Structure 1
Amino acid sequence: MNHDTPLSPRPLRHLSDVQQRVLTAAQLRSQGMSTADINARCRPGGPWQQLLPGVFLLRPGPATGEERLHAVLTYAARSPVTEQTEQPVVPAQPGAREPHAPGTPSAPQRYADAMITGLAALALHRFSSAPPLLSLDRIDVLVPRLRRLRSASCVRIVRAPGMPKPAQIAGIPVAPVPRALADAVAGLTDAGAVRRLLTEAVRGGHCEPAAVVRELTQARLLSRPHVVDAVDSLLAEGRAIAEDRLYRMVTEHGLPDPVWNVELRLPGGPPLGGLDAYWPDHAVALELDTRTPRQDDDAMWSEYARKREHLERLGITVVHVTPKKLRDSMEQQATVVRTALMASGDREPAAYVVVVPR
């Protein structure tokens, strides 16, 4: 076999074009190549190059962004048993369909226990505030905590006690936006860059603030002042977006106009609590549940529960709505509110309360 001898494509038909250009030493040896052959082709001026330990690009010139991603995943992924025990393929008879290589893993299994995260993942999620893939010196890849694997060259290994379910983007397993944000923020010191990423996550509809704060909390990043400042802006942004969706729900689904952002009081008594919307003629109250993991969840829920119980003892129906439900199922939430309004005529009259602006 000389340097110009092509590899037999038969056992690799299950791979994409890019995956056929980015191969491991084990895959090349399964094609009949020796270590000396591989090293000879990777010499300066040769037709191949080594991108990462044990990972080769079968062409000269700079790697594309897609080739880099596949190389990183090939390096970091847990090797399927079938690649370690590659079986020969029996040649097909003339006119027969090309057989699938026996035991070859399907696309989602090819990169077991590895997914792109951090800024590279955000670029794949089409964040305009994330730098282009080719401008990144390093690509973060998420692997289980107990994997024996080291960062190398353009790969930075990020470990997780539990792996999230990846999104599949153009055949690339990519961490969900909240996890990718946390891993990106962990390596950023620019407050403006952090704020832009978090704001785009919410404003662009990628995820809700609570999911982002949960990941930042688990990553222990909320002790950094510039992250805390960005989170405060994120929560304010998320609250404003949720309120806008609430206004749209009332308008687009033909609900009666409520009074907005009010506080209820008993005549001459203490405040009963603030509400996002209230229908006085129906004694129906609506409250946005914007709790985040940064807050004491048990204490916050106890406060919500006490307020709700107190109002319902007074004959006021309380509807709790989360920003996520408003985003994902606005029509269903409108039906919940409409049902509560229609049921008001079947209830005992509510106690008299004073409604004041909040």
Structure 2
Amino acid sequence: MNHNTPLSPLPLRHLAATQRRVMSSAQLRAHGISTADTAAHCRPDGPWQQLLPGVCLLHPGPPTSEERLHGVLLYAGRPPAKEARTVPAQPGAGEPHAPYADAMITGLAALALHRFSAAPPLLSLDRIDVLVPRTRRLRSTGCAHLVRTHALPTAVQITGVPVAPVPRALADAVAQLTDAGAVRRLLTEAVRGGHCEPAAIVKELNHARLLGRPHVVDAVDSLLAEGRAIAEDRLYRMVREQGLPDPLWNVDLRLPGGPHLGGVDAYWPDQAVAVELDTRAPRQDEDALWSEYARKREHLERLGITVVHITPKKLRDSLEQQAAVVRTALMASDDRDPAAYVVVLPR
């Protein structure tokens, strides 16, 4: 064969059975295509092109968003321990190995796959972040930007693509952003859209050491306020829809002529039952706040006040179960010793 010999767009018909237009060199070899044949088809005038090192696009035009995603995963995924087979694969037999082991899409590309309206469209991204173990010996190249981690999270499968869960994807996206508005929009959408709770986001941001950046701190403050407002709305809905008696909302408790005991989100004075939403999030400077929270709860319980602790996640995922917990505490008040008298003030 010389350089003027035309190349078939698809030299082996059984490749069509894979329904893939992007494949790794290992996959092509498993289908009986030699390295030399692959290189010949990826010449500038050939029917294929090299998308990334060791990854071929089986057509001459620009790659689609899906092809870029699969190409990045093929490049970054852990290769098999040994070649599964060297004879051509049979149509319908499937791929010889799992090519995406230890790799998943993260960052802005992952948020786009999670359908974040605040994330740029996939085609507009110059690079695609892919999360890999720290021990992977690869470099970022082309559209593939490697993000290394000590421990991979459990991936979410979206249209056959392994994607980092929202909190991790947010942290990897925020690490690359300097626009305070963009950061705030992404974090707000994560909570407002029901993707995850603020605590999970702040935990990932803290783990990534991003809470020292002023524009991230400002966005987190807005995020926590947004998350608390949503949790309060869920608490109101729980009381209304589950037929609980109306409490006193957002009140401060004090001993008569004594010290301030702290604020609670809902309080039933006749039953001495309080509900407190735990909207705290793990941050670098909040150990003292956590200790103060625990002291307040212990003090109230010593006075005979039952404190029902509810997280926003529990309200979102098991509202009826949380209502049952509150109802049980209210019904059990008759079997307890009378609580100390406290003064209830609006908060």
Bin the TM-score by the shorter chain: over 0.9
State the match for 1:160 in structure 2: 149
Give secondary structure in 2 for the equivalent of 1:110.
coil
- Verify: 1:281 aligned to 2:257, yes or no: no
State the match for 2:298 in structure 1: 309
- Verify: 1:216 aligned to 2:220, yes or no: no
State the match for 1:95 in structure 2: none
State the match for 1:234 in structure 2: 223
Indicate conservation of the 8 Å contact 1:284/1:319, yes or no. Answer: yes
Rounded to whole Å, the distance in 2 between the matches of 1:346 and 1:128 is 52
State the match for 2:56 in structure 1: 56
State the match for 1:71 in structure 2: 71
- Verify: 1:100 aligned to 2:72, yes or no: no
State the match for 2:196 in structure 1: 207
State the match for 1:3 in structure 2: 7
State the match for 1:29 in structure 2: 29
Q: How far did residue 254 of structure 1 move?
A: 0.7
- Verify: 1:171 aligned to 2:160, yes or no: yes
Indicate conservation of the 8 Å contact 2:31/2:87, yes or no. Answer: no
Letter in 2 for 1:100: A
Cα deviation 1:290-337 (Å, max 9, x = unaligned):
111115555334323222222122111110000110111111100000
Alpha-carbon distance change, 90 to 69 in structure 1, aligned in 2, over 3 angstroms: closer
- Verify: 1:349 aligned to 2:341, yes or no: no
Give secondary structure in 1 for the equivalent of 2:270.
coil
State the match for 1:40 in structure 2: 40
Q: If the length of structure 2 is used for normalisation, what is the TM-score?
A: 0.93
Indicate conservation of the 8 Å contact 2:24/2:54, yes or no. Answer: yes
Rounded to whole Å, the distance in 1 between the matches of 2:131 and 2:16 is 26
Indicate conservation of the 8 Å contact 1:284/1:340, yes or no. Answer: yes
Alpha-carbon distance change, 21 to 90 in structure 1, aligned in 2, over 3 angstroms: closer
Indicate conservation of the 8 Å contact 1:11/1:89, yes or no. Answer: no
Please identify, of 30-39 and 253-262, the stretch whose mean Cα deviation from structure 2 is larger. 30-39
Indicate conservation of the 8 Å contact 1:11/1:88, yes or no. Answer: no
Q: How far did residue 86 of structure 1 move?
A: 1.7
Indicate conservation of the 8 Å contact 1:116/1:175, yes or no. Answer: yes
State the match for 2:279 in structure 1: 290
Match of 1:115 among 101, 104, 113: 104
Please list every run of 5 or more consecutive structure 1 residues that lacks an aligned counterpart in the other structure.
Answer: 92-97
Indicate conservation of the 8 Å contact 1:52/1:153, yes or no. Answer: yes
Rounded to whole Å, the distance in 2 between the matches of 1:132 and 1:33 is 35
Letter in 2 for 1:85: A
- Verify: 1:198 aligned to 2:187, yes or no: yes
Please identify, of 305-314 and 134-143, the stretch whose mean Cα deviation from structure 2 is larger. 305-314
Rounded to whole Å, the distance in 2 between the matches of 1:11 and 1:86 is 16
Please identify, of 69-78 and 33-42, the stretch whose mean Cα deviation from structure 2 is larger. 33-42
Q: How far did residue 32 of structure 1 move?
A: 3.2
Rounded to whole Å, the distance in 2 between the matches of 1:4 and 1:10 is 14
State the match for 1:124 in structure 2: 113
Cα deviation 1:93-131 (Å, max 9, x = unaligned):
xxxxx7736x833xxx43100000000000000000000
Give secondary structure in 1 for the equivalent of 2:74.
helix
Alpha-carbon distance change, 89 to 135 in structure 1, aligned in 2, over 3 angstroms: closer
Please identify, of 29-38 and 49-58, the stretch whose mean Cα deviation from structure 2 is larger. 29-38
Give secondary structure in 2 for the equivalent of 1:319.
strand
Alpha-carbon distance change, 5 to 315 in structure 1, aligned in 2, over 3 angstroms: closer
Letter in 1 for 2:197: E
Indicate conservation of the 8 Å contact 1:7/1:31, yes or no. Answer: no
Please identify, of 38-47 and 149-158, the stretch whose mean Cα deviation from structure 2 is larger. 38-47
Rounded to whole Å, the distance in 2 between the matches of 1:134 and 1:331 is 42
Letter in 2 for 1:184: A
Rounded to whole Å, the distance in 2 between the matches of 1:11 and 1:180 is 34
